[in-house]
Amino acid sequence: MLFFISANKGLAQTANQAQLAREQAPSPFPPTTPPSAVEGGHVVAAPGDADLGEQQILKRVEEYQPFTISLGAPFYWTSNVALTRSGEQSDFVVAPAAAAFYEPRITPTLFGLIDVREQLFYYDKFDSFDFGSFDVEAGFRYLVPQWHNLLLRVEYDYNRLTKKDSFEAFFQNHGFIVNAEIPFRLGRAQQLSLGADVNISAAAEESGQPPSPNVNAISARRNDYEVYAGYSVVLARSFFVNAVGRIVVRQYWEGDRTDVNEILALTANYRVNKFLTVSAVSTLAANRSNHSIFDYNVANLGGAVAASLKF
């Protein structure tokens, strides 16, 4: 058994590195307004809403558009390609993404969610790290206006990590996500959001590993427990800044491994028009594990271009 785990260690680290790289990378899409957030007959703007502070009548909600098609392309320098404790190597990454979202309004405060997303990560010098990430999500979002517009989410997420220029998977995960978030308006142009979520892996499959029930042999499989705080300020009608701080406890199924991951994301966004947004993006992350070999720090700095169409 020890020989088997050792023989697959390199592959498992690749799957884990890819998971962490995509989760700590700058987002391909800027934040948007929650569709159901209404307060006093006006849409409540969330972090990323370039119209924060503008009075928006309830008619906007009555003309709710459930479909969104989004394209995005972050490009950034990363300080630690392999997410290692020592011997860090930097590189330049381009990570184009495409997504389709369907969020039907079931009741005035209950929304469904179905989305399909694909993102590809291309490294300049270390192209052996190239990979793709494909997601399908389905769930519900429920707004509780009487509780300070508390937003509750329950979702199923299928994630498939794929090899370079291929849809062949080297890791697959079925997860269930429960999230709660509450916004606080700070005047007309600022908002603070506090939230927590749990992401439980219900099943996983990794290339080269034995099938279930040997789940403990899948070393990239984990459960995540997270708290976060987000701040947004609109400095002009089309220019807004976001900051999000996250603390994530990652509990791995194998090896009695538990990591604590701290992530800070900063973005400055300019909305060119209702379809196109350009951004300066950055993320800083520090990982500390009960097995110090998995400790690392990483910085990602760059920009992003995103286009979105609602109908």
CATH code for position 94: 2.40.160.40
pLDDT averaged over every residue in the chain:
85
CA dist 165 and 311 (Å) reads 31
Question: Is the whole model's pTM more than 0.85, yes or no?
Answer: no
Distances from the Cα of 146 to the Cα of 37, 40, 158, 182, angstroms: 12, 12, 33, 11
- Above pLDDT 70, what percent of the chain? 82
More confident residue, 48 or 26: 26
The per-residue pLDDT for 39 is: 34
32: pLDDT confidence band, cut at 50, 70 and 90?
A: low
Q: How confident is the model at residue 84 (pLDDT cuts 50, 70, 90)?
A: very high
User: For the CA atoms of 266, 270, 276, 281, what is the dihedral angle to 10 degrees?
Assistant: -20
The structural domain count of the chain equals 1
* Contact criterion met (CB below 8 Å) for 196 and 228: yes
200-255 confidence digits (pLDDT tens) = 999 999 876 555 555 555 678 999 999 999 999 999 989 999 999 999 999 999 88
pLDDT of residue 52: 33
Domain hosting residue 269, numbered range? 2-310
Q: What is the pLDDT of residues 161-209, one digit of tens each?
A: 999 888 999 999 999 999 999 999 998 899 999 999 999 999 999 876 5
Is the pLDDT at 44 greater than 60? The verdict is no
Whether the per-residue pLDDT at 77 is higher than 80: the answer is yes
